[in-house]
Amino acid sequence: MAELVGDWLKGGLGIHLLTIMKALFLIVFLWAVLALSGTAYPGKKLKVNYVLLGWIFCGALFAVLAYQATWQLGGMTRPAFVKFMRTYNRRENAAQQQTLRGALLDRRGLVLAAPQPGSIWGRRYPLGAAAAHPLGYYDFRYGITAVERVCDGTLSGMTQTPEDLAKSILVKRPEQGESVNLTLDSRLQKKAYELLKNRSGAVVVINPRNGELLALVSAPGFDPQHPESAIRDSIRKPAFNRAVQGRYPPGSTFKIVTAGAALNNNSSPTFNCPGGGFVAGKGKKPIRDSEYYSDLRKGRQWKGWGSIDMKEAMIHSSNVYFSQLGAGCTANQMAAVMRDAQIDQELPYLADSSGALASMQGRIPDLESGWNRAQAAIGQGNLLVTPLHVACYTAAVANKGVLYAPQLNLDAQAKKLSQPFTAATAYTLKVMLREVVKKGTGRKAELAGLDLCGKTGTAEVNGGKDHSWFTCFAPFHDPVLVVTVLVENGGYGAEAALPVARELLSEANKLGYFKRTAGGRK
């Protein structure tokens, strides 16, 4: 008998049977409630009227019921409660009863992070370590970080319109939170990470015309599904997002900004650049060109560039020229362009319902001293920036001097942040940076048909090998991509960072990022 009924239940009716039973139960329950309330009272005459008491207690019951509704039906609007349930609700079927976390998608709709059905804390990251830094992790024990944290409300379906909220209360909770579209291109992100592999460094790829971040890479990476070892590793610091949190001297890449400061003030002087270097202050060591040291190692005497203009100096990345240029600018002229380039600011790059993400702020040294200005002019001294800052001032050059706020959310409006350079300055800088790649320190980066503009950087580090920088954009006429690469302790900019940028640009070219411009040139 039991088996017979069992077989019948397993049949087609079984799926909806519980719903039918629930409905039937509630209907009959309602019927009983109505019948009970409708039953006539015995007798007619009331000696004393105690109806007030009845209503007081009924009122109390329904006040409690109303309060209960704020938890039972509106619990999702209480963030502390949602967090509690996510962590401590051990129901086996909770995954069905709770909202499945929304996905993170790249600019083409490819999955960057996806929920794992059947598990509240399960999360799948197809790019793995390559995108661990911008996306962050979502871990039961170690918490929620980066994009996962900032977009938590959206991803877990807590930010709903009133209509959605009403629907989710009445009919069914949303099975899945909203997904968030990011500006990242998973192909560039992955490629950049592979190019950096086994080294420490960062890559930022940004669209200068709207600030969209196409890649935000930090190496070494870590497995976002198992962040514990990365968090504990205090030597390599893999959990540290170097692209936005790391602060470095920008080295020669900062000559872009120094040149901009002078050009904004219509100054483009010619300086004598002797081999002995430039002494910026009494008793200070002379600032020399790198050729002085390379010749010294070869047993030769560097004679200097002689009298050169700004373009020539940029091509050769002459420290002697730019330190003179910086020392020659007023403190205000230098400070103005640095502030407009947001060097002393946090660069915000994502804001959502549960918070915002921004880079570290850079550090501008005291510019009143000529020595400090001369040092800052060549990206040394007390000047510190994040790779995102370098990408942003490069992007400003590429975009007619206008800096757009970096952005990770594909659906966000592009936002103008500031204008560090005048349009004329930006154009002059662009021409110079093109020359750098054509025949200067960046010539190894030249890729056929790309019209790349760029600047190398070699930043001295106390007690370590130099940091290697390369920041560039392409194509010359209508730049669509800015690529900034930092390789920690990589040596000369042209040696470590430049090849990474070149490979990445070549990949972007294959992917068709420069197609329109390339076609136009035919």
Partner 1 sequence: MKEGKGSSLFRLLMLDWLVVALACAMAVYTQFQAQQSLVWKPLLPLAIFSAAIPVTSLWLKMLGWQGDQGFVGAVFLLCGLGLVTQIRLTGFAGDSNVISPLALLPLSAGLLAFLLGASITGGRRGRWLSSAGWGAYFGALGVMALMLVFGRSYRGGIYLPGRINPSELVKPLLVLFMAAFLANRAKAFSETQIGIPTPPFSALVQLVFLWSIPMAGTLLLKDLGLMVILNAILIVMLFAVSRRSGYLALGCVAVTAAGFGVQLISGNAKDRFDVWLHPFADATGKGWQVLQSLSAMYCGGMWGAGIGGGDPKFVPIASSDFVYAALAEEIGFVGCTMLLCVYGILFVRGFRAAGMIKAPFERLLCVGLTSALAVQTVFNIAGVTKALPMTGITLPLISHGGSSLIVTLLVCGLIAGLSDSRK
- Residues interacting with partner 1, by CB under 8 A? 2, 5-6, 9, 14, 17-18, 21-22, 24-26, 28-33, 35-37, 39, 41-43, 45-58, 60-65, 67-69, 71-73, 75-76, 80-81, 84-85, 88-94, 97-98, 169-171, 173
CB of 193 to partner 1, least distance (A): 38
CB of 25 to partner 1, least distance (A): 5
Q: Tell me the angle at which helices 255-264 and 331-340 cross, rounded to the nearest 10 degrees.
A: 120
Burial of 75 (0-12, 13-18, 19+ CB in 10 A): middle
One-letter amino acid at 279 equals: V
CB of 71 to partner 1, least distance (A): 5
Q: Tell me the C-alpha to C-alpha distance, in Å, between residue 164 and each of 77, 157, 453.
A: 12, 10, 49
> For residue 228, what is the enclosing H or E element?
helix 228-232
Find residue 144's DSSP bridge partners.
138
Burial of 169 (0-12, 13-18, 19+ CB in 10 A): middle
Please give the Cα distance from 117 to 128 (Å, whole number). 19
CB of 406 to partner 1, least distance (A): 35
Which of 13/461 has CB closer to partner 1? 13
Nearest of 339, 288, 293 to residue 317 by alpha carbon: 288
Which of 97/272 has CB closer to partner 1? 97
> For residue 22, what is the enclosing H or E element?
helix 14-38
Which of 173/438 has CB closer to partner 1? 173
Which of 33/461 has CB closer to partner 1? 33
Please give the Cα distance from 341 to 249 (Å, whole number). 15
CB of 44 to partner 1, least distance (A): 9
Burial of 328 (0-12, 13-18, 19+ CB in 10 A): middle
Which of 37/234 has CB closer to partner 1? 37
CB of 505 to partner 1, least distance (A): 50
Which of 98/372 has CB closer to partner 1? 98
Contacts of 485 (CB under 8 A, 6+ apart): 196, 201, 202, 203, 468, 469, 470, 471, 497, 498, 500, 501, 504
CB of 154 to partner 1, least distance (A): 20
Which of 97/270 has CB closer to partner 1? 97
CB of 4 to partner 1, least distance (A): 10
Burial state string for 467-484 with b = 16 or more CB within 10 A and e = fewer than 16: bbbbbbbbbbeebbbbbb
Burial of 31 (0-12, 13-18, 19+ CB in 10 A): exposed
CB of 164 to partner 1, least distance (A): 15
DSSP labels, 254-282: GHHHHHHHHHHTT----EEEETT-B--ST
Which of 50/283 has CB closer to partner 1? 50
User: What 3-state class would DSSP assign to 138?
Assistant: strand
Which of 37/413 has CB closer to partner 1? 37
